[in-house]
Each structure stands twice: as structure tokens, then as C-alpha cells.
């Protein structure tokens, strides 16, 4: 019997137009009534996800910032935070990179310093809660920071990522978009977050189902028996998954959930 279902967002739950499935909230509600936990596992901020899932927020577990933060019924139950010394080291490096604008991603909020119109537009797009502050290193003393995201107004791969790639033995440095680089602790991944939830609710590997499409879902697929790669998933992810779901543009997550859990709405 399935007791926990987790899904990635972009390329998995959302279609190519970034739209939610029409039946999503009804399905989450029915899963809740069957005592099946439902979780989104995303690189997005908690407060952004909370806004997206406002109608069913009390029926879900939120795995945020690619697994660095987990919220359950409004309570932060896990945070893989960067040490203050690491934050100082990283911010001092980033401040020297031209066209690079750091965001501190914390439990309470996200934080930015100096800004450009393009930067602030993108921050507002991905962070439902953020503050502009005079000094990131000062605000870092008053929150738990789990990720530093860097927006590059030139090109993230050839500019910011090139300057930070040498830190990959100490931190997880990920190129997360044309304009974005993320830095987290090496221990951060969605699979660790799933295992935390499994332990909290006494849910086994065999009672867990997950959906993903890209390599940042790799560890999550390894955390459960019912591992579903989307039809549109990266080939390397498909190789480690036991099952395949229809593509994100075919409503694959919802179709599979309804079939396996026998929800007939």
C-alpha cells in the first residue's frame, strides 16, 4: 500500500506551459482522506510553493530548495543550513564576480543586497517572500540559510559558474539555469528529505512513490520502490527508475496516481 507520494514540479507535475493539472487539488484532497501523504519536492522557495498550493497547504508536505528545507503543516521540520563561516567565504567570493547577484535563501525569507531591474524582476518571479537589506552577512546571523542562489545578468555558465566550480569538493555548486547558479551543502538532496519524512511517519521504502524528470531527482528515485521517470525524463534518470509515467504534457503524474491508488475522480 502506498503511504507517501512525492513529485518534482517543473517537467514533471507542471506541463510545458508551467500549468498545474486541473484535477490536482481534488486528487490531493482524496489522498489526504485515504491517509496518503503528498509532497512536492522542488528547488523553489517554501513561500512560493505555499502560495501555489494555498487551498491544500494543510494536506501536504513541502520539500523546498531541492531538499535543504522541509515544512510539514507550517512547521519547519528540517533545515540543512550553511555554516556562517561558509556564508562569509562564499559571499566574499561572489561579490568579486561581475554581473553576479547573490540571494540568501533562509527559513524566514530570502535576502538580496544591491539590485538591478532584471535581477529584482527575477527574484520576484521565484521568491514570494524576500527582503532587500544593506548587508547580507549581517542578516545571515538572524536566519538559517540553506542555499545561496546567484543571478547572473551575463551568462551563468561562462561567468559565475566558472568562478565557483573549484568549490565543488566543499559545496554542491549547481548550474540551475541560463542565469542561475545554486550553492548548498554537499549533503543536500531530495532523497535525504524523503528519508526524513519516511522516518517521521514510519513509512517504508516499499510504501513510497516518487515522480521526476531530471538528475536533481536522482536521489529521490533511489529513496523509494515506486520510482517513476516521466516519459520526457533524462535518459540517465530512466535507467535507475523501475517505472515510466506518461509525459508532463500528458498529465502523467495525476494519471498514474489515480491508477495506482484507485482514485476515480
What is the set of active-site residues?
8
Angle, CA of 9, 13 and 16, to the nearest 5° = 90
Q: 70 pairs with which residues across the strands?
A: 63, 78
Burial of 8 from C-beta contacts in 10 A (0-12 / 13-18 / 19+): buried
**Separation of alpha carbons 4 and 247, rounded Å:** 21
How far is Cα 63 from Cα 78, in angstroms, rounded to an integer?
9
The three-class DSSP label of residue 173 is strand
Strand 180-185 with 226-230, pairing:
unpaired
CA distances from 238 to 137, 141, 142, 218, 233 (A): 41, 42, 42, 10, 7
Cα-only R_g, the chain: 18
CA 152 to chain centre: 20
Amino acid at each position: 500500500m502506498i503511504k507517501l507520494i512525492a513529485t518534482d514540479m517543473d517537467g514533471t507535475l507542471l506541463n510545458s506551459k508551467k500549468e498545474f493539472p486541473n484535477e490536482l487539488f481534488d486528487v490531493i484532497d482524496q489522498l489526504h482522506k485515504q491517509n496518503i501523504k503528498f509532497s512536492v519536492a522542488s528547488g523553489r522557495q517554501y513561500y512560493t510553493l505555499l502560495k501555489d498550493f494555498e487551498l491544500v497547504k494543510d494536506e501536504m508536505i513541502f520539500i523546498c530548495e531541492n531538499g535543504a528545507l522541509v515544512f510539514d503543516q507550517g512547521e519547519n521540520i528540517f533545515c540543512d543550513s550553511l555554516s556562517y563561516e561558509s556564508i562569509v567565504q562564499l559571499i566574499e567570493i561572489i561579490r568579486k564576480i561581475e554581473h553576479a547577484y547573490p540571494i540568501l535563501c533562509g527559513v524566514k525569507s530570502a535576502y538580496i543586497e544591491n539590485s538591478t531591474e532584471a535581477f529584482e524582476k527575477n527574484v520576484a518571479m521565484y521568491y514570494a517572500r524576500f527582503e532587500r537589506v544593506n548587508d547580507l552577512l549581517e542578516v545571515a546571523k538572524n536566519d538559517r540559510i540553506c542555499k545561496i542562489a546567484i543571478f547572473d545578468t551575463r551568462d551563468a555558465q561562462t561567468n559565475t559558474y566558472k568562478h565557483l566550480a573549484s568549490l565543488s569538493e566543499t559545496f554542491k555548486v549547481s548550474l540551475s539555469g541560463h542565469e542561475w547558479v545554486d550553492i548548498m551543502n554537499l549533503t543536500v538532496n531530495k532523497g535525504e528529505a524523503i528519508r526524513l519524512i519516511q522516518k517521521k511517519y514510519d513509512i517504508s521504502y516499499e510504501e513510497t512513490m516518487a515522480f521526476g524528470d531530471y538528475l536533481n531527482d536522482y536521489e529521490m528515485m533511489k529513496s523509494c520502490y515506486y520510482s517513476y521517470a516521466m516519459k520526457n525524463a533524462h535518459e540517465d534518470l530512466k535507467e535507475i527508475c523501475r517505472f515510466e509515467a506518461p509525459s508532463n504534457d500528458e498529465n502523467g503524474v495525476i494519471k498514474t496516481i489515480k491508477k495506482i491508488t484507485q482514485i476515480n475522480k
